Amino acid sequence: MVVGLEVHCQLGTRTKLFCGCANDGFGMTANSRICPVCTGQPGVLPVLNKRAVELAFQAALALDCKLAATSIFARKNYFYPDLPKAYQISQYEEPFSQHGGLDTKLPDGSRKRVRIHRIHLEEDAGKLLHEIGSEELDYSLVDFNRSSVPLIEIVTEPDIRSSDEAYAYLTALKEVLQFVGVSRCDMEKGEMRCDANVSVMLAGSTKFGTRAEIKNVNSFKNVKDALEYEYRRQIEIIESGGTIKQETRLWDAVNMRTESMRSKEEAHDYRYFPDPDLVPLHADPVWVAKLKAALPELPEARRLRLASTFALSAYDAEVLTSEKTLSAYFDEAMSGRPKEFAKPLANLITTELLGRLNKEGKSIAESPVTPKMMASLVELTLNNTISSKGAKEVFAKAFETREDPKVLVEKLGLSQVLDEGQVKGWVSEALAANPQAAADLKSGKEAAAGRIVGAVMKLSKGKANPALVNKLIKEAVK
Amino acid sequence: MNHTEMTAVAIADAVASGKLSAVEVAKAHFERVRALEPKIKAFVTLLEEDAMKRAAAVDAKRARGEKLGRLAGVPVALKDNILLEGVETTCSSKILKGYRAAYDATVVERMKAEDAVFIGKTNLDEFAMGSSTENSAFFKTANPWDTDRVPGGSSGGSAAAVAARMAPLALGSDTGGSIRQPASFCGVVGLKPTYGLVSRFGLIAFASSLDQIGPFARTTEDAALLLSVIGGHDARDTTSSLKTPGEALAGLKGQIKGLRIGLPKEYFIKGTDAEVEGAVLAAVETLKKLGAVVKDVSLPHSSYAVGSYYIVAPSEASSNLARFDGIRYGLSSPESKSLEEVYEATRGAGFGPEVKRRIMLGTYALSSGYYDAYYGKAQRVRTLIARDFDDVFREVDVLATPTAPTAAFKFGEKVDDPLAMYLSDVFTIPSNMAGNASISIPCGLTRLGLPIGLQLIGPAFSEGTLLRAAGALENASPFPKLNG
């Protein structure tokens, strides 16, 4: 399987690409975010949104692309009712960036760089509403809220070799775009859309087969399914002696198959030409340097840093980087704290916090336990005020009451007993009450220590400091 | 003195100082419109009621003691491809019949701010495609000097309205000569500003890289006044220049002595009427007497201008006019059974033959496999034409040429021969291709009493110099005045 992906991603700007209308029309009343410019009234002219260019440039920089010193906007001409000017302003021969790549972690743990061929900036079209609740209606309505919303199209080289690789690439891409703040990439809102070019070739061959372009694949899972289907379809055709036609196919997610939409011969002639209404876009080096400096740390670099600086496990580093809000949560809790903080903090976040949030169906942003509270909880465990078990209890309570962990420790009476004399007493009592275990321990069966520890904890109502208990048991049976 | 004889400068002064009311001025012009319009038919829409209201508002503003603008009470006609909010804007096309402008063009906004009074929207060749205004889908406009003849085009209605003194000022648009050629035919001043000096926002696009809005007037001073109002950067048009009209108009005042005038040999060729050439050379002689230095120059790529223009302009037009699809506004065909039928029925019935011809030319020139041979090559020719001008403007300050090869021709004379019609723009097209400044002023009458136009071409933003030279000729011998 040989796959190249084209991903459209909506930029998170305040306004549209060529006019001042708000870029928040999804789910809003139809045609409530429109003006003469984005509905193609006569006499209007486009004015490029600077913020959209900044976000597009940052996406390109994050994807290791080269920015063109000068790029050109072109008109892509075709008739459709959702395209008010009957042309889309896009970029054709001279896109703003080319030649990048994204390091993608594959399911088997290995890494692969998927090369990016180009990224260009363009405007979205409106949306046709065919289903409006009545079968009597034999016409369609058009909503221009989405018309002229800024998009970038990210086109890979044909570097992807399996549906799993495609899935992994899309996951990594979404992560980067969200991290940089280019887009929310909410696929349900159409903020990220994917077309796939698929062909097949014999293992070991270097000559690509004829490709089919699959459109309308609107979730990562759909991409995977569509690629698998298309792969089998093409192989079946070849094995039964047929040839693959170059064509555009549509993914039907309900029936789980692709269907021919138009052949190469029927392909549109878009009559691209440079848009005379827009001047060339120059990437001023000073401006670009500023945008580059403002880029946040990218997920991959962050994972490596978390793992090396804080000695976190690969798993923890991965989890703590998977979402931007979670990264920010971790960073806030860590701020001004020593390195030793990281590991217990990571543990509490990945096990307690995420587990609980997940159970309640809440997001990080909605967490009742703030990063500051979480840090104070870690502090309480690190200075042995509470045990790790106690920390879990405090967390659970704090999640419900939003109270300060320090206050809760007092309220719940969870302070650990660190007094050696008192703990020694419990140890002696436990050894006496469990003669068999005491004997086993003395003869070197260390597994027996568990029973004694358990007994001590029971006697101390869980308040004895575990490290101290272990130490004193060892001393007692020496 | 009849108010319709007054210049815009004089009207604005008189209204601002209270010697004359804007309402009186407007009334006088509408009287003249009523007398002449049945013969001339310059207007697609007359705005008498609106105009009287605006004029009254201007008078009221003065009565309140407020300072009036530079166009106080001056009646202005607008070519019907420039948007005036709330008013029907048709481009003289059936496809836009009934379309009401949703906003004001930038030029309109600026004129409103200076207290101008809009008296109507003028006829044009449909979508500004033509050189005689015969391509209007509605009716033909007559040349006020001889009503059997065309006023030129495409801004024929604006040129005729100013020539017939139905308005002292009008706006036109010039893509290949559409201001200068009708100015020449109607014996008025027509200025095509440097590309980018005047905002195109609110001008219905024909060919975006060539279109410029510019003034018609009966005096050079009035043309300068209107340019100073409409010119200057507009954030809504990113192709508009940061130059101010003041900078472009620097050099308006001063001597002719030492002005270097070039006579490009490619503009004095067989096919140009001898009377036209004679009048142009006589005007150059006048400037020479005033101290100008005249020399022969060459613009070697001139002969490729018309050919490359008829690739670039239709290509851009084919895209610009695609939005008239019957979906959102204008003519539509609700009986159509499919989307394709809506497009075919709307555009088939809505566009006239010349517009269809150019859409087809442009669609072909941009199509896959032909782009490089046509559009790409035409753009390279364009660069060469611009370079010719750059070279020649190192030697001279302005070029003097005929505006058109002939004076106004008769109705029907060229309308069935597109190529002959296209050649009436042979001297005006290069200036659009290069994006520089040019002006047409009257320089005499033919034996038949038809106006002849002199074209002066200068480098980008040399409007002041052009108007200074034009003004010197105007002072030396007043422009011929239409009787009646």
The DSSP annotation for B140-155 comes to PPPBTTBTTB---SSS
Helix (H), strand (E) at residue A258: strand A257-263
pLDDT of residue A136: 55
Question: Closest Cα of chain A to B321: distance in Å?
Answer: 9
| Beta pairing class for B169-174 and B75-79 | parallel
Contact B323 A36 (CB under 8 A): no
Residue of A44, A86, A278 with shortest CB distance to B325: A86
Tell me: do B71 and B119 sit in the same domain: yes
Q: Average pLDDT over chain A, rounded to whole?
A: 87
- The runs of H, that is alpha helices, within B81-175 are 106-113, 156-163
Name the catalytic one among B158, B178, B241, B438.
Answer: B178
Q: For A166-226, give the secondary structure using H, E and C.
A: HHHHHHHHHHHHHHHCCCCCCHHHCCEEEEEEEECCCCCCCCCCCCEEEEEECCHHHHHHH
The verdict on A18 touching B (C-beta cutoff 8 Å) is no
Domain hosting B343: range is 303-379
Q: Which two tokens stand for residue B321?
A: 């006019």
Tell me: do B95 and B185 sit in the same domain: yes
Of B328, B346, B379, the last residue of a domain is B379
In the predicted model, is pLDDT for residue A412 greater than 80? no
- C-alpha gyration radius of chain B: 21
Contact list in A for residue B88 (CB cut-off 8 A) is none
Contacts 24+ apart (CB under 8 A), B342-345: B343/A79
Tell me: do B244 and B193 sit in the same domain: yes
Domain residues of chain A, as ranges? Answer: 2-288, 297-412, 420-476
Contact A45 B237 (CB under 8 A): yes
For chain B, positions 363-392, list CB contacts with chain A under 8 A.
363, 366-368, 371, 375
Of B379, B408, B437, the last residue of a domain is B379
Residue at token pair 């070039």: B262
- Four-way CATH pick for A420-476: 2.40.50.1020, 1.10.10.410, 3.40.50.700, 2.40.30.10: 1.10.10.410
- The CA distance from A87 to A211, in Å, is 27
- Residue B27 among the catalytic residues: no
- Cα–Cα distances in Å, from B33 out to A461, B28, B115, B161? 105, 9, 21, 9
For range A145-167, the mean pLDDT: 95
| Beta pairing class for A247-252 and A257-263 | antiparallel
In the predicted model, is pLDDT for residue A455 greater than 90? no
**Which amino acid, one-letter code, is at B1?**
M
- The CA distance from A92 to A72, in Å, is 8
Contact list in A for residue B99 (CB cut-off 8 A) is 42
Q: Which of A77-91, A340-354, A417-431 has the highest mean pLDDT?
A: A77-91
pLDDT of residue A135: 54
Question: Closest Cα of chain B to A47: distance in Å?
Answer: 6
Q: Is A402 left (phi over 0), alpha (psi -120 to 50) or beta?
A: left
Tell me: do B156 and B243 sit in the same domain: yes
Residue A137 banded pLDDT, cuts 50, 70, 90 = low
Q: Which two tokens stand for residue A49?
A: 């949104």
CB B189 within 8 A of CB B172: no
Residue A332 banded pLDDT, cuts 50, 70, 90 = confident
Contact A43 B319 (CB under 8 A): no
Tell me: do B426 and B375 sit in the same domain: no
Strand order across the beta sheet in which A66-67 lies: A66-67, A97-105, A111-123, A150-156, A2-10, A192-199, A212-217, A247-252, A257-263
For B191, list phi and psi in degrees, rounded to 5.
Answer: -115, 125
Name the catalytic one among B21, B93, B131, B154.
Answer: B154
Question: Closest Cα of chain B to A191: distance in Å?
Answer: 26
Please check whether residue B287 lies inside any domain of the structure: no
The verdict on A86 touching B (C-beta cutoff 8 Å) is yes
| Beta pairing class for B117-122 and B43-46 | antiparallel
- CATH code for the domain of B205: 3.90.1300.10
Residue of A47, A86, A273 with shortest CB distance to B236: A47
Tell me: do B86 and B223 sit in the same domain: yes
Burial A79-91, CB ≥16 within 10 A → b, else e: bbbbbbbbbbbbb
Contact B339 A278 (CB under 8 A): no
Tell me: do B111 and B155 sit in the same domain: yes
CB A243 within 8 A of CB A42: no
For range A409-429, the mean pLDDT: 76
Tell me: do B136 and B58 sit in the same domain: yes
Taking residue B86's Cβ as centre, other Cβ atoms within 10 Å add up to: 12
Before B424, cis peptide (omega within 30)?
A: no
Our CA dihedral for A153, A156, A160, A164, rounded to 10 degrees, sits at -30
Q: With 0-12 CB in 10 A as exposed, 13-18 as middle and 19+ as buried, what is A434?
A: middle
Tell me the CA end-to-end span of chain B in Å, nearest whole number.
14
Please check whether residue B266 lies inside any domain of the structure: no
The verdict on A87 touching B (C-beta cutoff 8 Å) is yes
Please check whether residue B387 lies inside any domain of the structure: no
pLDDT of residue B277: 96
In the predicted model, is pLDDT for residue A133 greater than 70? no
Of all residues in chain A, the percent with pLDDT exceeding 70 is: 98
Residue A322 banded pLDDT, cuts 50, 70, 90 = confident
Contacts 24+ apart (CB under 8 A), B354-360: B354/B125, B354/B126, B354/B129, B354/B130, B354/B135, B354/B418, B355/B93, B355/B126, B355/B127, B355/B129, B355/B135, B355/B317, B355/B321, B357/B418, B358/B129, B358/B313, B358/B314, B358/B317, B358/B318, B359/B314, B359/B317, B359/B318, B359/B321, B360/B318
pLDDT of residue B419: 74
Tell me: do B368 and B425 sit in the same domain: no
- Residue B79 among the catalytic residues: yes
For A204, list phi and psi in degrees, rounded to 5.
Answer: 90, -15
Contact A47 B239 (CB under 8 A): no
The verdict on A93 touching B (C-beta cutoff 8 Å) is no
Residue of B96, B208, B339 with shortest CB distance to A81: B339
Residue of A nearest to B237 (CA): A45
In the predicted model, is pLDDT for residue A134 greater than 60? no
For A199, list phi and psi in degrees, rounded to 5.
Answer: -145, 170
| Beta pairing class for B398-402 and B260-264 | parallel
Closest CA to A281 of B238, B379, B372: B238
Q: Which two tokens stand for residue B337?
A: 């059974």
Q: Look up residue B374 and give its DSSP letter.
A: I
CB B132 within 8 A of CB B150: yes
Residue of B200, B328, B371 with shortest CB distance to A84: B328
Tell me the CA end-to-end span of chain A in Å, nearest whole number.
66
CB A170 within 8 A of CB A223: yes
Neighbouring residues of A4: CB distance < 8 A, sequence distance ≥ 6: A117, A155, A156, A157, A158, A159, A160, A196, A197, A211
- The runs of H, that is alpha helices, within A100-152 are none
Residue at token pair 């060729």: B269
| Beta pairing class for A111-123 and A150-156 | antiparallel
Neighbouring residues of A361: CB distance < 8 A, sequence distance ≥ 6: none
3-state secondary structure of B252: coil
Strand order across the beta sheet in which B43-46 lies: B43-46, B117-122, B75-79, B169-174, B212-217, B189-192, B437-445, B451-458, B398-402, B260-264, B293-297
| Beta pairing class for A212-217 and A192-199 | antiparallel
- Residue B332 among the catalytic residues: no
| Beta pairing class for B189-192 and B437-445 | antiparallel
CB A193 within 8 A of CB A7: yes
Q: Which two tokens stand for residue B31?
A: 């009287």
Q: Provide the number of structural domains found in chain B.
A: 2
Contact list in A for residue B89 (CB cut-off 8 A) is 42
- The CA distance from B311 to B214, in Å, is 24
Contact list in A for residue B367 (CB cut-off 8 A) is 269, 271
Contact list in B for residue A43 (CB cut-off 8 A) is 81-83, 101, 105, 201-205
Contact A77 B319 (CB under 8 A): yes
| Residues A66-111: tens digit of each pLDDT | 999 999 999 999 999 999 999 999 999 999 999 999 999 888 888 8
Please check whether residue B275 lies inside any domain of the structure: no
pLDDT of residue A119: 97
Closest CA to B76 of B122, B113, B41: B122
For B287, list phi and psi in degrees, rounded to 5.
Answer: -65, -35
Tell me: do B313 and B174 sit in the same domain: no
Per-block mean pLDDT, blocks of 10 residues, chain B (484 long): 92 96 98 97 98 98 96 98 97 97 98 98 98 97 97 97 98 98 98 98 98 98 98 97 94 92 94 94 97 97 94 97 94 84 93 96 93 94 97 98 96 82 90 98 97 98 97 94 85
Contact B238 A277 (CB under 8 A): yes
In the predicted model, is pLDDT for residue A45 greater than 60? yes
Tell me: do B355 and B411 sit in the same domain: no
Of all residues in chain A, the percent with pLDDT exceeding 90 is: 41
Neighbouring residues of B438: CB distance < 8 A, sequence distance ≥ 6: B180, B191, B192, B428, B431, B455, B456, B457, B458, B466
Please check whether residue B283 lies inside any domain of the structure: no
The verdict on B255 touching A (C-beta cutoff 8 Å) is no
Tell me: do B252 and B105 sit in the same domain: yes
CB B163 within 8 A of CB B482: yes
